[in-house]
Structure 1
Amino acid sequence: MIAKVERFARQEQLFAPVEPGRALHLCAAVSGGADSMALLRVLLELREAFGYPLTACHVNHGLRGETADRDEAFVRAECARLGVSLTVFRPADVGMAVPPHAGEDWARRLRYACFAQLLAGGIDCIATAHTATDQAETLLFRLARGTGLHGAGGIRPRRPGYCRPLLGLTRGETEALCAAFGQAWVTDETNDSDAYARNRLRHGAVPSLRSVNDAAEENLARFCEKAGRADAYFARQAEQLLSVARLDAAQTARKAPKAKAAWRLEPLQGADPLILEAALHRLVAPVRDAEEKYIRLLAELVEQGSGAVQLTDTVRFCAGSGMLWQEEGRPEAAAAPAFSLPFAPADGAEFALPGGQTLKTRLFVSGFREKTQGVHKKDLKNRADYARITLLYSALTLRTRQPGDRFRPAGRGLSKPLRKWMNEAGIPAGIREGLPLLAAGSEILWVCGEGFAEGLAPDEETVQILQLELENGGTTHEHE
């Protein structure tokens, strides 16, 4: 297994010197788990072959109390025993504080803030303990959420400042390595919880695939490697396309004074769809997580040649007059009046909302409408099981958001504060205050433009379907 890692490292040039005559200064990110302890032991074994100085770092996130302190003490003891210099970080060391509802996203930002401090202080490369099993989980997660070729490439073996030497080994192999070294490790108890989507994949999907083929993880990881190579090719073609289409600063200032950058639509519209998708990914990635839905929205914008897509509170892409351009700046919040109306889900009911909008409700027998007419995707997410809604919730209100609101989005296992979810979903700040919601107390059951909450969608046992339709300005925001 050590030889396998060495071959992979040479193939991907993971430990190449950053400059001639000076060895790479490598730092292993060590959590104390089996993967990271295997990483540390393998890097120690390969140190002579590659000639790199090796140190280690550990991040105590401050989220798990005594067990986090236990992990830190374990890593300190093991690094001392192995003669590896260790740097330990806590949130305050990088100017961060643990927020009230810190989750995985915050923990990841903390880790990379710590890594950035090391890279700024003389470390050339951080080695992380991602494995082929992590690669398989990442691929499944991205496919389920929606991804393109870039996302299907999974975790890359290296990028500036970072390398992943264990991507060729499965989690089972890292545990076997630890056993062979007589190396103990600690276990993060949050890995046993199914509250996180990745853990559900880890406990359910990956073992099921392994039961079909023992090499499932390696095969998925191999697919990611091939997708990554294909993506690199398309990235080169995409850069060439953007270069040909890009307007210079003078043209941009003359044609779109608010634009940060601009491109001619003609070459974009004439490009191969796969190359256009790669080009649009390059535009989205610096702004936000480049999920498939945002790439698709921008592709539609290019095809139509007019309109706008709001990617974040401050960044949007616009099309018109033969060009595509990017604008930055916080949009002025519209004066959206708050409202609150009793809601009774009767067939044909209409609710007049501020701004001339009308929310209409429809009831129909499950299966009938689908057989008699086409169903748009936007209609599907605005449908709920009528019996489930009326039996579970006795008092419903159609209103705007209020402090304390929580929402459990469809396909997610966790309820989140509505404000936090709106930030993650990229809903523009200017429309949040006036966005129509269906609520039962502080529990939000439906968000206009985003659909019903988890657990309310119709299924094979549904008898009647409730559908909500917003008219007279039914496009609630430019993501739709």
Structure 2
Amino acid sequence: MNHNVRETIRRYRMLEYGDSVVIGISGGADSVTLLHLLCTLREEYALSLRACHVNHGLRGEESLRDQRFVENFCASLEVPLDVLEADVGRMAKERRVSEEECGRQIRYEFFERCCEAGGRIATAHTLDDSLETVLFNLSRGTGLAGLCGIQPMRENIIRPLIGCTRAEIEEYCARNGLSYVTDSTNLCTDYSRNRIRLTVVPQLERLGGNLRQNAGRMTELLRQDEDYLQRQTRNFLKRHQTGRGIEIAALRDEHPAIASRAVRMLLIESGFPYDRQHIEMALRMASEGHGTLQVSADCYLEVKDGCLRAWKKERAVNYFEKPLNFGKTVLQDGIAVHIKLVEVPHRENLKNIHTNMLRSCLDYDKIIGKVVVRQRLDGDKIRLWDRKMTKSLKKLFQEKKLSASERAERILLADEQGVIWLEGFGCDERAAPDEGTSRLLVIERCEKRTS
């Protein structure tokens, strides 16, 4: 298996000499193997390793057991560890997604926060996971992309174990004397992926052949096809997309495989939610030469002036600015902020500042002069604690693909030297809490306009 992992790393250029790598670790066999293997490569690649564990708060004492195991395992390998304790059950309801999906979102958000600029995030996905993903997508109805399985590498996320089976990983643990924990919910068929793993895959194995390796070869071939079609689509858009949108004459004449992908790219670039029906209706409008489609509450596709264009209905928000007050401050049309001052009784509690903290608080004693709670102004900049670079708020909002009304509703705190906290992004580096912090300014929550 060592050779398999090394070959995967080399083939996809997952690691470069001197890389900083954040490793997601649950305590299961897969993530234990991943961390152990990367430790064996630490000297060869001069890697800076850091582990991340999320306690989802769903399994009570068992979750605490897993956390303690991970803490001890990382300590034995001399790998620093960041731990996030999250109430996934509550957050899933707030986000209106399943606990399974909410847990995935929270993990990746945490990994990104812990990852240094230019660093890598390593996850322990295997060949088994990729097969289950293919079957899951197939059951829901999918296009070619959904049959490509889990990508070996996506942006800064690497998956060195993607060519290994679960059986190989368990053998690796046994051979190297590695213990691991087992999540009891893995045996519960209430979760879709568990049902696939526990019932569907065993039935397919009865058909004979090497199911996982065969599926691995299939997904590799399909990824090549999908990559080619994506390139062709981007070339098509370079020729036929203007500031007004995509030329409908070109969409009508293009092969459906490229035309549908072009519409999907337009929706993604515009930050619109979408499904297959939206794409089909947009292509029908292009074919007929007219029409408007409401994709969501304020997102629209429209055929106008010979082009298919995406646009958002913006909501006007009047400028607001108020002096800092503790408690609840209503700013504008139901937009409110809750702020409180918290004394830090034991400064040693802040020796290991949790990254999640820096998104909701700042060091009160580092504020310079008077503080106001206000809306963004032209020229505002912030040096975010996790970015190590100064960026304009306009650039940050563009990166998040926020609409004009969404940008206008973002709350910020500014002192006499500039912005010190921005909703959704966190505090400025100069106001970040540290070991010497004695008072925290905590921004508990912001209410958004509902009308």
| TM-score normalised by length of structure 2 | 0.64
Residue 158 in structure 1 maps to residue 153 in structure 2: yes
Matches within 5 A, 1:30-429: 30-91=25-86, 99=93, 103-119=99-115, 121-122=116-117, 124-248=119-243, 252=244, 262-285=245-268, 287=271, 291-329=275-313
Aligned 8 A contact 1:310 1:317 in 2? yes
Aligned 8 A contact 1:313 1:330 in 2? no
Distance 2:47 2:82 in 1: 18
Aligned 8 A contact 2:274 2:295 in 1? no
Aligned 8 A contact 2:251 2:283 in 1? no
Distance 1:107 1:185, change over 3 A: same
Structure 1 residue matching 2:246: 3-state secondary structure: strand
Distance 1:288 1:112, change over 3 A: farther
Q: How far apart are 1:130 and its partner, in Å?
A: 0.7
Task: Give the count of matched residue pairs.
Answer: 312
Counterpart for residue 403 of structure 2: none
Aligned 8 A contact 2:127 2:164 in 1? yes
Deviates further, 99-108 or 82-91: 99-108
Distance 2:32 2:282 in 1: 43
Structure 2 residue matching 1:282: 3-state secondary structure: helix
Q: How far apart are 1:289 and its partner, in Å?
A: 6.8
Distance 1:309 1:183, change over 3 A: farther
Distance 1:204 1:277 in 2: 34
Distance 1:305 1:110 in 2: 43
Q: How far apart are 1:329 and its partner, in Å?
A: 3.2
Return the letter of the residue paired with 2:101.
D
Structure 2 residue matching 1:204: 3-state secondary structure: helix
Return the letter of the residue paired with 2:160.
P
Return the letter of the residue paired with 1:110.
I
CA offsets 1:289-309 (integer angstroms, 9 cap, x no match): 765444434333333333344
Distance 2:85 2:272 in 1: 26
CA offsets 1:77-117 (integer angstroms, 9 cap, x no match): 1111122111112239x9x9575786112112211211121
Aligned 8 A contact 2:273 2:296 in 1? no
Aligned 8 A contact 1:210 1:217 in 2? no
Q: How far apart are 1:177 and its partner, in Å?
A: 1.4
Return the letter of the residue paired with 1:319.
V
Q: How far apart are 1:235 and its partner, in Å?
A: 1.0
Distance 1:183 1:151, change over 3 A: same
Return the letter of the residue paired with 1:280.
V
Distance 1:34 1:298, change over 3 A: farther
Distance 1:91 1:48, change over 3 A: same
Counterpart for residue 6 of structure 1: 6
CA offsets 1:228-255 (integer angstroms, 9 cap, x no match): 121111111111111222123xxx3xxx
Q: Which runs of 5+ in 1 are unaligned?
A: 18-22, 253-261, 332-480
Distance 2:284 2:297 in 1: 20
Aligned 8 A contact 2:263 2:279 in 1? yes
Distance 1:3 1:81 in 2: 24
Q: How far apart are 1:25 and its partner, in Å?
A: 0.5
Q: Identify the match of residue 28 of structure 1 among 10, 23, 28.
A: 23
Distance 1:29 1:325, change over 3 A: same
Distance 1:167 1:68 in 2: 26
CA offsets 1:99-139 (integer angstroms, 9 cap, x no match): 578611211221121112112x4470110011111111111
CA offsets 1:303-348 (integer angstroms, 9 cap, x no match): 33333444333323222442211122379xxxxxxxxxxxxxxxxx
Q: How far apart are 1:207 and its partner, in Å?
A: 1.4
Counterpart for residue 387 of structure 1: none
Return the letter of the residue paired with 1:171.
R
Return the letter of the residue paired with 1:60.
N
Distance 1:62 1:42 in 2: 28
CA offsets 1:145-200 (integer angstroms, 9 cap, x no match): 12112222221111222111111011222112111111111111222121122111
Distance 1:74 1:166 in 2: 22
Q: Which runs of 5+ in 2 are unaligned?
A: 316-451
Distance 2:305 2:272 in 1: 26
How big is the alpha-carbon RMSD for the aligned residues of Structure 1 and Structure 2? 2.6
Structure 2 residue matching 1:185: 3-state secondary structure: coil
Distance 1:297 1:219, change over 3 A: farther
Distance 1:232 1:108, change over 3 A: same
Return the letter of the residue paired with 1:221.
G
Distance 1:190 1:289 in 2: 31
Distance 1:227 1:308, change over 3 A: farther
Structure 1 residue matching 2:114: 3-state secondary structure: helix
Distance 1:297 1:205, change over 3 A: farther
Distance 1:183 1:279, change over 3 A: same
Return the letter of the residue paired with 2:33.
A
Distance 1:207 1:32 in 2: 25
